[in-house]
Structure 1
Amino acid sequence: MLFRAAARAGAGVAAAGCAVALYNWATVRRLPRRPASVIEPITVCVPARDEASRLPGLIADLRAQVGVPRLRVVILDDASTDGTEAAALAALGDDPRFTVIRAETEPAPGWTGKAAACARLAEDVTTPVLIFLDADVRLAPAAIASAASELRRQGGALLSPWPRQDFGSVSEALVQPLLCWSWASSLPMTLANRSLRPATAVACGQFLVFDTAAYRAIGGHAAVAASPTEDLDIARALRRSGRRTALVAAGDLASTRMYCDATELESGYTRWLWSAYGGSRLGGAAVGTVAALAYWLPPLAALCGKGATRRAGLAGYLAAVTARLLARATERGAPITRPDLLAALAHPLSIAAYLRLWTRSHQANRRAALQWKGRPLTAPH
């Protein structure tokens, strides 16, 4: 009886997540594919540390942008050791819109490398629109014009176009789709975009579009200098100041492959997952318990249960898989592929992979062993 009740409860949680994912699939706004030209001056800032292999692709995409006649791009080689600066200079050629600068020193105490790089890039920006892009992002020709137009249409301080998260390995397929699924199955985004509650802010630091005056008003990245999740925290800081932030789906206008193998993925998530749920191990344990209830018990009941228990388990598992597919469709703005389907069917394994990464991140934080790209990360204990 207890197992049956737990399986039904888990199926109910999974069904609720599926309902939210369906709502978001139907209502989340996407960047327009054919925006009008943007007359406002725009500065795009690209922090790059050891990105010699990825940065030329982004530079080529930025050089191909249309509808932004007053575009300026500033790239910061953040003390790279792999020839990032030379790769950038070779890729941009004699394009006068691009400037490459180099940071030779390490970040000041109390700053993460990413926040320090972004602050340095933004120092001399005077244009009314300020965009931060990670080096691993790929853009369609209308992406910048579309994002800047949407910022002004929304009338807010920050627009976060969510890039499609691509994957090329089993480990990436298990973990990367969880980024979109985590908000798409839990937060009705059109309502969250109208709210000023910091807890409902969602942002992706790979592609952030700011009203420059609003960015300056909160102190820019200095307001989140030590944060391991500076993207979320700068959105929350804007909301605390009474300024609106919004998330939209970039669809086929922006994509990224954040990590290229299991080792890079593990290192990337380990550096920041400890900070989820306010950095609380108790909060993380509670979330893990709910995840096990909703995404492990139903498939277990479908396999091992009988009668009504099996039916409840199967319904819960199918709801979870459907939520994953709806989240992926929201993110992609295109038909679901066979790899997307296989990744969704493996959702219980995805939850296991996530919980493993969260545990390892807490362990590394307790040992003060957090680092990223050769830099130690100071973390509170």
Structure 2
Amino acid sequence: MSAWPVGPWRALSWVGSASAVALTAHSLLNARSLRVPALDPPPVAGRVSVLVPARDEEGRVRACLASLLDQVELPDYEVVVVDDASGDRTADVVADVAATDPRVRLVRSEGPPPGWLGKTHACHVLSRHATGEVLVFVDADVVLAPHAVAAAVDLLRGAGLDVVCPYPRQLALTWSERLVQPLLQWSWLTTLPLRRAEVSPRPSLAAANGQFLVVDAAAYRRAGGHEAVRAEVLEDLALVRAVKAAGGRGGVADGTALATCRMYDGWAEVRAGYGKSLWSAFGSRPAAVAVGIGLAVTYLVPPAAAVTGSPVGAVGYLAAVVGRYAVAERTGGRSVPDAFAHPASIAVLLGLLADSWRSRSRGGLRWKGRAL
């Protein structure tokens, strides 16, 4: 007698497996259409402002600045760093670098006024000091390849975009990072129609990464800049949406060869980092519940069915593994054995989503010593 269950469970397994197959097929198509910046870009015409918001980054900002000062094919650029009321030696490190290179300027901020979040205010301050035709926002924990800025600006202009986020290669070392961090690229490569998303003003068809965000200065101002998204936790996504709502075009691109970033170090930082922002990723609590159910049906039900002997569940699980593997290979992540743990990744993500909403409901969200 077959161990394969019947009824609603079997129907869920079929739905989940079919969804996994369809989404993996979509991710493979997206991987082929993903815009890739040039490895040998031409010199950039016009002035470029590279803008770095920094709060409590004394251990990482020096490496970031070294990579920014090593940029090629940038005849005219400035690097402006805002120290966002750091409690460590971030400002001193930046000042030391600025003393040896006139391209670097340090701006000090006393922190956000009421109604603003820290990073949005820091980026707003940076934009007020920028003099370039193109604004390049770079997080202090990002290290750029020498051709990164020129390649990103070349892509912005060559593709006729107003904003582009070349997604950095995400460095993941501990078990929690390896489970969660690859889902960043996997999520938009799997779900978004990338080329349509570039031109559509629909908020749901947007993806972004503020770690490395390049925007035409005029388009930035037309959209209201960071002042228009002053209270948004996911300010990068909100800014891309604002640029598109103002008639601009843009989205994500392949930044694997341009930048690297290790966002978090271990489970405690992963949990805190996703806890502060994951609640806002889907717009509302009902939307978050719907997304959670969809993820569970698509990526948890099939492997559970496969354990009971279901060939349909096995197909769904293997489709998910193929999708995760392909995205990892495309974006410079770990493909094997990590792809086989995709159900565990989704389970952890759902736990983080629930935890984020719970903290949000209790008013306990904080980041870098500030209430959100």
Task: Report the CA distance shift for 1:329/1:194 in structure 2 as closer, same or farther (over 3 A).
Answer: farther
Q: Which amino acid aligns with 2:347?
A: A
Q: Which amino acid aligns with 2:300?
A: W
Partner of 1:317: 317
Partner of 2:67: 61
The residue correspondences of 1:41-190 to structure 2 (distance < 5 A) are 41-103=47-109, 105-190=110-195
Q: Is the 8 A contact 2:97 2:104 kept in 1?
A: no
Q: Is the 8 A contact 1:40 1:128 kept in 2?
A: yes
Question: What is the RMSD computed on CA atoms of the aligned residues?
Answer: 1.3
Q: Is the 8 A contact 2:199 2:244 kept in 1?
A: no
Deviation at 1:92, TM superposition (A): 4.7
Q: Which amino acid aligns with 1:357?
A: L
In structure 2, how many angstroms separate the alpha carbons of the residues matched to 1:321 and 1:196? 32
In structure 1, how many angstroms separate the alpha carbons of the residues matched to 2:189 and 2:83? 34
Q: Is the 8 A contact 2:223 2:245 kept in 1?
A: no
Q: Is the 8 A contact 1:25 1:329 kept in 2?
A: no
In structure 1, how many angstroms separate the alpha carbons of the residues matched to 2:336 and 2:115? 43
Residues 45-96 of structure 1, C-alpha deviations (whole Å, 9 max, x = no match): 0000000011011111011110001010000111111100112233455111
1:292 aligns with 2:287: no
1:375 aligns with 2:370: yes
1:331 aligns with 2:335: no
Partner of 2:208: 203
Residues 9-50 of structure 1, C-alpha deviations (whole Å, 9 max, x = no match): 110010011011100111111111110111211000000000
Partner of 2:286: 282
Q: Which one of 30, 35, 38 corresponds to residue 44 of structure 2?
A: 38
Residues 94-135 of structure 1, C-alpha deviations (whole Å, 9 max, x = no match): 1110001211x2311110000000000110323111110001
SS of the aligned residue for 2:137 comes to strand
1:273 aligns with 2:244: no
SS of the aligned residue for 2:80 comes to strand
In structure 1, how many angstroms separate the alpha carbons of the residues matched to 2:298 and 2:37? 33
Q: TM-score, normalised by structure 2?
A: 0.95
Q: Which one of 223, 227, 231 corresponds to residue 228 of structure 2?
A: 223
Q: Is the 8 A contact 2:199 2:248 kept in 1?
A: no
In structure 2, how many angstroms separate the alpha carbons of the residues matched to 1:78 and 1:106? 6
1:214 aligns with 2:214: no
Higher mean C-alpha displacement, 313-322 vs 184-193:
184-193
Partner of 2:341: 346
Deviation at 1:190, TM superposition (A): 2.1
In structure 2, how many angstroms separate the alpha carbons of the residues matched to 1:254 and 1:178? 18
Q: Is the 8 A contact 1:28 1:330 kept in 2?
A: no
Higher mean C-alpha displacement, 5-14 vs 185-194:
185-194
Deviation at 1:353, TM superposition (A): 0.8
Q: Which amino acid aligns with 2:108?
A: R
SS of the aligned residue for 1:43 comes to strand
Partner of 2:3: none
Task: Report the CA distance shift for 1:92/1:125 in structure 2 as closer, same or farther (over 3 A).
Answer: closer
Q: Is the 8 A contact 2:162 2:219 kept in 1?
A: yes
Q: Is the 8 A contact 1:157 1:245 kept in 2?
A: yes
In structure 2, how many angstroms separate the alpha carbons of the residues matched to 1:247 and 1:228? 19
Which stretches of structure 1, 4 residues or longer, exceed 6 Å deviation after superposition? none
In structure 2, how many angstroms separate the alpha carbons of the residues matched to 1:31 and 1:342? 29
Residues 321-359 of structure 1, C-alpha deviations (whole Å, 9 max, x = no match): 111122223323xxx6xx432221111111111111111
SS of the aligned residue for 2:153 comes to helix
Higher mean C-alpha displacement, 225-234 vs 286-295:
286-295
In structure 2, how many angstroms separate the alpha carbons of the residues matched to 1:189 and 1:217? 24
Partner of 2:22: 16
Number of equivalent positions: 366
Task: Specify every segment of 5 or more residues in structure 2 that has no aligned partner in the other structure, as ranges.
Answer: 1-5
Higher mean C-alpha displacement, 201-210 vs 323-332:
323-332
Deviation at 1:156, TM superposition (A): 2.1
Task: Specify every segment of 5 or more residues in structure 1 that has no aligned partner in the other structure, as ranges.
Answer: none
Residues 137-172 of structure 1, C-alpha deviations (whole Å, 9 max, x = no match): 111100011011111112222111111111010000
In structure 1, how many angstroms separate the alpha carbons of the residues matched to 2:87 and 2:335? 36
Q: Is the 8 A contact 1:132 1:209 kept in 2?
A: yes
In structure 2, how many angstroms separate the alpha carbons of the residues matched to 1:130 and 1:253? 17
Q: Is the 8 A contact 2:329 2:335 kept in 1?
A: no
